[in-house]
Amino acid sequence: MKPWQKLLRWFDREGRKLPWRGTRDPYRILVSEIMLQQTQVSRVIDFYRAWMKRFPTWNALAKASNAEIIHSWAGLGYNRRGLALRDIAKHVVHDGVPKSREAWLALKGIGPYTADALATFSLHERRWPIDTNLRRVGGRLWLGKPYPQPVDDERIRKYSASFIQHSPRFYDLPQAAFDLATSICTKTPACSMCPMKDDCLAAPKFLSGKVKTPKQMVKKSIERIHHGKKFPDRIYRGRILKAVRERSAGIDIDRLGQIVDDAFDNKQDMVWLEQMVQRLVQDHLVSRSKQRVTLPR
């Protein structure tokens, strides 16, 4: 049996049944891909279902106001993703659905990974969309590297081409590899349970027990933390947006401080708060008129 056949056989038995799978509809695929950026699958499932009910088509989404998007995205985090998705929908309604990976990539808000995913799952091109999961599986399988890095992507891509080449279900192979990456080929992989163990160059290394698990595989991004505060600014930004979202008439900025931080000090922290609100205004997530902060219309 070919390696890709083993992976698909395992996928058919063990793969996750996710609501955005089994479709070539680029809208459904894009919504799921944008939601899955920096958010776990288990959290995305309910949001995805609710979103598809509220905005079932490109057209429905393109007509949504900023305020509607911010309400619907509430709880998922990284709210700019919702606005970017709506802006892509406007573009699609105006110019049509992109017909190639390059045309997708040309749209603001679509990076190389998302363009590859759309090309694979919607256009059915033979690709291996490389995120951390597919890098880990591909780098282990074909390069024998226990902990592959972004510099390995070019080689992973090259080897993936021959892996998917002869499979009639080539578009399911990346999905199968995602599931393998999250269930078996994890940071410390369970190679003895893996359907690919006889074909994987890294398996003998792991099975020998000699591979050391690095403590930190991905460098933590450095987050801005205001002097004396418990959390990064990102958390307070989320709280500001929540406070504004929950008040249809908005809220005055001098009341916001206490709502987002129990220890808010009017003298020391006001400039910091003003700067965070200003950044939210620049991101079109809130509007400001004098002291009043509201959702954008």
Residues that bind ligand SF4 (CB under 6 A): 137, 140-141, 184-185, 189, 191, 194, 196-197, 200, 202-203, 206
Closest distance between ligand SF4 and the C-beta of residue 143, in Å?
11
Nearer to ligand SF4, 6 or 288 (CB): 6
Closest distance between ligand SF4 and the C-beta of residue 138, in Å?
9
Please classify residue 32 by burial: count the beta carbons closer than 10 Å to its beta carbon, then call 0-12 exposed, 13-18 middle and 19+ buried: buried
Nearest to 141 by CA among 126, 124, 162, 118: 162
Nearer to ligand SF4, 139 or 257 (CB): 139
Nearer to ligand SF4, 146 or 250 (CB): 146
Closest distance between ligand SF4 and the C-beta of residue 44, in Å?
24
Nearer to ligand SF4, 37 or 213 (CB): 213
Residue of 33, 68, 102, 154 with catalytic role: 33
Q: Is 33 a catalytic residue?
A: yes
CA-to-CA dists, residue 55 to 34, 59, 80, 179, angstroms: 15, 8, 17, 28
Structure tokens at 244: 């504004």
Residue written as token pair 């081409």: 161
Closest distance between ligand SF4 and the C-beta of residue 217, in Å?
14
Closest distance between ligand SF4 and the C-beta of residue 163, in Å?
12
Sequence letter at residue 210: K
Backbone phi, psi, residue 28, to 5°: -65, -40
Q: Annotated active-site positions, please?
A: 33
